[in-house]
Amino acid sequence: MICDNISVNEKGHLTFAGIDTTELAKKYGTPLYLMDENKIRERVRVYKNAMERYFPKGSMPEFASKAFSCKQIYRIMAEEGIDIDVVSAGEIFTASSAGFPMDRAFFHGNSKTDEEIRFAMEKGVGTFVADNEEELKAINEIAGEMGKKQRVLLRVSPGIDPHTHKKISTGSTESKFGVAIETGQAKGFVKLAIELENVELQGYHCHIGSQIFESEPFATTLEIMLGFIVEMKKAFNFEPEILNIGGGFGVRYVEQEPVIDYDEKIKEVSYVLNKQCERFGIAIPKIHMEPGRSLVADAGMTLYTVTNVKEVKGYKNYVSIDGGMTDNPRYTLYESPYTVVLASRANDEKDFVATISGRCCESGDLIQEDVNITKPLKDEILAVLTTGAYNYSMASNYNRVPRPPVVMLKDGEDYLAVKRESLEDICSLDI
């Protein structure tokens, strides 16, 4: 199967992390998010060990928690001893409520409000990744009011197009994120950070996009960023302690996509780093990376119950499920590919071409179009694989559909990490 935590048992049922998925569907109901805790920890360790091995001491992965945010994931990351990214008061509150050491959190985002900045400082967030000059001034002012000196990284845009989907490409000069190097504005940003009294400039941050399979775009990014470091050293005699090169390594959603050896990719990036630092005559900064999806995507799976199969003669076949864009909006947003398997008969011939359709009143509410699956019967369990990233975290209550629970699987056991939303929950804020 697409990942080594997926298999088929003697009954022909799909298993995930060694557990029969049809049994889990019976126990918890559907739709149901499953997360393989061991796989998450395994991935975190691959990144952490590789970064310790190939980069200078103090280099560290940060989990981009927008990919999957709930209290339990922050507890896991705390136990694994890695840093996290947070982007909102909501993520900060969740991490802090879970007891995550907030000194290890990096606060991102291109549109932080003053209230959020203050809230983040009160919660002890260690580092702010300042996106623009107005924000940097606000951080400085609020830190001053609170009698703090706030650590900051500056987000700059290196002017890179990593050839990924336009909506997940974030490092080009015209991007809404960060301050552009190409236009010369990034230099003014650095000058300001050095001058402001209540911020302590630690270095630079960039993030070029997501679903990147090669190390080459990162190498190009590094060359640009190191060139920028040299320029800033000349201009202001400032050398950064940290260079954050962002997240974005790809994930294998379908068989046609390559298997990624993250250790090998990180090693490739380190060659470029060492070579270029030597060439430019600068100290090698501590490297931070911010993997989101590559830590959690294939630790996830979603189970649905088939509600009906509709064959539009001469046109299209639809398999309708009891979930859809409310629990996984990624096909609707980006036409993301996914692998779909009939969990109750996972070894049967996949000779039915079907479009998996969600339950919302939108023609665009689809999980996949025209994929080969085993023709299901009503009430059978359908599994969508590799849904651990940007599914639960992007879920909505459109059509007032309650969000599914998250069940974690660990060492052959299952436990609830997030409860199923109830109909009462849906109305809980209504007056």
Ligand X SMILES: *Cc1c(COP(=O)(O)O)cnc(C)c1O
Q: How many CB atoms lie within 10 A of CB 402?
A: 17
Q: Is 92 helix (H, G, I), strand (E, B) or coil?
A: helix
Task: Dig out the tokens for 209 from the structure.
Answer: 């996009």
The answer to whether residue 405 forms part of the interface with ligand X (CB under 6 A) is: no
CB of 211 to ligand X, least distance (A): 6
Q: Which C-beta is closer to ligand X: that of 291 or that of 300?
A: 291
The answer to whether residue 210 forms part of the interface with ligand X (CB under 6 A) is: yes
CB of 397 to ligand X, least distance (A): 23
Stretch that binds ligand X, among 4-12, 111-119, 286-294, 324-332 (CB under 6 A): 286-294
The answer to whether residue 3 forms part of the interface with ligand X (CB under 6 A) is: no
Which residues in 99-118 contact ligand X (CB under 6 A)? 108
CB of 340 to ligand X, least distance (A): 22
How many residues touch ligand X under the rule CB under 6 A: the total is 16
Q: Is 248 helix (H, G, I), strand (E, B) or coil?
A: coil
Q: Is 361 a catalytic residue?
A: yes
The answer to whether residue 245 forms part of the interface with ligand X (CB under 6 A) is: no
Q: Are 374 and 348 in contact (CB under 8 A)?
A: yes
Q: Is 8 helix (H, G, I), strand (E, B) or coil?
A: strand
Identity of the residue numbered 168: I
The answer to whether residue 292 forms part of the interface with ligand X (CB under 6 A) is: yes
How many CA atoms lie less than 13 Å away from 116 in the CB half-sphere? 18
CB of 105 to ligand X, least distance (A): 13
Q: What residue has token string 């209230």?
A: 115
Stretch that binds ligand X, among 119-127, 275-283, 288-296, 301-309 (CB under 6 A): 288-296
Report the alpha-carbon distance of residue 352 to residue 350 in Å, rounded: 6
Which residues in 6-65 contact ligand X (CB under 6 A)? 64
Q: Sketch the per residue contact string, 153 through 192, with ligand X: x for CB under 6 A, - otherwise.
A: ----------------------------------------
Report the alpha-carbon distance of residue 132 to residue 177 in Å, rounded: 8
The answer to whether residue 207 forms part of the interface with ligand X (CB under 6 A) is: yes
Q: What residue has token string 């046109």?
A: 315
The answer to whether residue 388 forms part of the interface with ligand X (CB under 6 A) is: no
The answer to whether residue 329 forms part of the interface with ligand X (CB under 6 A) is: no
* Lateral strand order in the sheet of 19-20: 6-8, 14-16, 19-20
DSSP 8-state symbol, 16: E
Q: How many CB atoms lie within 10 A of CB 195?
A: 11
The residues annotated as belonging to the active site are: 361
Which residues of this protein are in contact with ligand X, per CB under 6 A?
Answer: 64, 66-67, 85, 108, 207, 210, 246-248, 290-294, 389
